Each structure stands twice: as structure tokens, then as C-alpha cells.
Structure 1
Amino acid sequence: MSNVLVTYFSASGVTKGIAEKIASENDYDIFEIVPEEIYTPEDLDWTNKNSRSTIEMNDKSFRPPIADTTDVSGYDIVVIGFPVWWYTAPTIINTFIESVDLSGKAIKAFCTSGGSGIDKCVSDLASTYPDLDFKKGLRLTGSESSDKIKEWIDD
């Protein structure tokens, strides 16, 4: 078991590809956050006010059920990756955070986004979970070097 666990939620596969690359190139353990009900393209239509993702993101208390969780007790660093939805982390990330004990762990969030940054995502999560140790996040597009990502995790 490594000291680092890379967890991620990926709706379209972009975040998954980056998370798998981070984990495999650095010999980190990995865990996919999978919703009980997989998101369809219609669910992800942010232009539709009645789409599943829009409804979830408009209700900050909503927690989409996840298929499974994992034991994080053996890790010092938990990396959480996700796409940016409505300028913040998808509510399924809250479901995951509330399903595990992250107290005493360094939490490093990365997002996949073509334009939105990570700072608001991390700020929102840190405000929601003030007792957890959120570190500086990183926005990834997939073109970053493995050395840069490892340096961010190890920092």
C-alpha cells in the first residue's frame, strides 16, 4: 500500500484518464467514486434546467448515492479528482467525503477543466468541511508533466 490514495469521480472519462495516469506513474493506490446511477449525456446537460446534474448542483445539500466507498485509514494523503461543475466540485464529492474518515489526512484536490480554476472548488469544500485539511489544489488539462503532478502531491 502506498502512502497516497488517488480517488476520483469522472462523468465523461477525462478525469479518469488523468487519475489513472497519476496513480500508475507514481505507484499510488486508486479508487473510483462511482454513482449508484451512472450519469447519462442527458443527465450532464448543463443547459437543461431539469437535467439531473443541474438539479443536484442547485441543491447544495443533495448527496448523490455512491456505489461503494473505501478504507482510507492507511493513507496520509488523499487526492480527490473531479470535473468542475457549476464552478465547484460536483455534489457526489461531498457524498464521498462524508462516507470516509479524512480527519488527520492531507487532502489534495485536482480538477479537470478547460477553463474553470480549482481555487473556488477547494474553498467551497474547505468551508463545508472546516475540520479537514485541504491543501492547495491543482487544475489539470491532461498535458501536465508527471513530475509537476508528483511535486504537487509530495509538497
Structure 2
Amino acid sequence: MGNHTDFTRRTFVTGALALVTGLGLSACASGRPAQAGDSSSSSQSSSQSAAAASGSSDGAAGESGSRKVLVTYFSAQGHTRRVAERIAQDIGGDTFEVVPTQVYSDDNLDYNDDTSRVSKEYQDQSLRDVSLRQTTPDGWSDYDTVLVGYPIWWGDYAWPITHFASDNDFTGKKVIPFCTSIASGLGSSAKNLATVAGTGDWQDGQRFGENLSESDVDGWVKGLDL
């Protein structure tokens, strides 16, 4: 459950808008999906490496040192996407967006409405089996390290990321989870997702919260052992 069950829709939206700083990074309030949706199509692309960002053509996209790195994410509103893209830029990694076959509309993400899609899925776990447009990234076997990003919904990982974890073989891969949330912490979400995956060397996760800046992401990335 979220941390602030007495939020009204107005106070939630006002608070969420006030959190945008730096890159405009924020996350889902109170551990629940927020009202504004994000329905972009699935994409996998090579993000700019630090060398490319500075105008140099040296360095291969998707590689950090001698290891090939992928940043995978599900983003309901775009907040997790912005964090993921910053991470990928910092490490010179590729990105892969997890997109449901049936994307979430604004109304789908209104947790204040008991009849909305996410509210029904929360109340009935059998409805959380969310199919994906593409489950396995191109060139999956080539990646040594995979970062997995998701928003926190009701204190746990957002369930649309489930099939990415359960349907791929992470054997031999280092997996680093990260999440976005305004109020809720990482909690057991990373461990729960690792259990769903069943394979891979899952590391401690990182939660990015309110008032997030580029330097917060950059500082975390610098400390990673990729």
C-alpha cells in the first residue's frame, strides 16, 4: 500500500508537478501509480556515450570498459525513462524500454478511481499478467550487465516489468535494479524481482526519489562496479 492514503487527486497532482527539477526527474507518488500516463512505443537504442556526447566518435555504444551494458526500464509516466536515459548516457550503454501490449492511458493510471485499470490489477493479482510488445531485447546474449528500472507501485515493483524478468535468462549476467518513487523506498522490490527472474547475479538496488538532479544519478553511476 502507499504511504499517504488520504491524498486527494488535486493534492497528488500538485505535489507531483512541484517535484520537477534538473532533468525534470520525479516518480510515482506514495508508492502508487500516478494520474498522468505515458504511452510511448517500445524502443531499443544505443544511448550516447560520454565520448559521443563530447563530439568524439571513440567508444562503442553499449559498452562500459570491456563489458557490454544494457539499461532496461518500464516507465509509466516518463520519470523512470529519464533516469534510465541519463544512466545509459553516463555509462555508454544501450537502452530497452519495456512496453505493455496494451499501454496504460491516463485514466488507467488513476489510483484514486477504484475502477481504473491499475486499481483493478492491484486488487486482483490475476489481472497483473501484463503481456509485452517485446520481451527479449535484441542481442540479449551479448550483454554482460543489465540495469533494470521501474516505478514503485503500492510498495513493490510495477508489475508490467514482470515478464521481462521471468521470461529472460539472466545466467552469467550482473543485474543492477533501480526504481523511482516520491515517497516509498526500494523495499523488497529488487529482491522480489530477482526471485521472479530466478537467474542472474542481482546486486543491491537504488531508489531515486523527489528533487532528483542529474548529479544524483551521475554520482550513483560513478560508484557502480560494472
Compared CA separation, residues 60 and 131, structure 1 to 2 (3 A)? farther
The answer for the alignment partner of 1:55 in structure 2 is: 120
1:110-149 aligned at under 5 Å gives the runs 110-141=178-209, 142-143=212-213, 144-149=216-221
- Higher mean alpha-carbon deviation, 124-133 vs 81-90, is at 124-133
| C-alpha distance in 2 between matches for 1:99 and 1:129 | 8
Q: CA deviation at 1:26?
A: 1.7
Shift of 1:15: 0.6
Q: In 2 relative to 1, CA 106–57 (structure 1 residues): closer, same or farther, beyond 3 Å?
A: farther
1:64 corresponding residue in structure 2: 130
2:170 equivalent to 1:98: no
For normalisation by structure 2, the TM-score amounts to 0.62
CA RMSD in angstroms comes to 1.9
> Comparing 41-50 with 76-85, which one deviates more in the overlay?
41-50
1:59 shift after superposition: 4.0
Encode CA deviations 1:52-103: one digit per residue, 9 max, x unaligned.
1122234445321111131421112111101100111111111111232212
In the superposition, the TM-score normalised over structure 1's length comes to: 0.88
Question: Does structure 1 conserve the Cα–Cα contact (< 8 Å) formed by 2:175 and 2:202?
Answer: yes
Which has the higher relative contact order, 1 or 2, with Cα contacts under 8 A spaced 6 or more apart?
Answer: 2
**Cα distance change of structure 1 residues 140 and 50 upon mapping to structure 2, 3 Å threshold:** same
5+ long unaligned stretches in structure 1: none
Cα distance change, pair 65–145 in 1 and its aligned pair in 2 (3 A): closer
Deviation track 1:25-59 (CA, whole Å, cap 9, x = no partner) reads 22111101111122111111122222211222344
| 1:41 aligned partner, one-letter code | D
User: Aligned with 1:84: secondary structure?
Assistant: strand
- Between the two proteins, the alignment pairs up a number of residues equal to 154
Match of residue 46, structure 1, among 99, 111, 116: 111
Over residues 115-141 of structure 1, what are the superposed CA-to-partner deviations in whole Å (9 max), with x where a residue is unaligned?
211132112223334444321000013
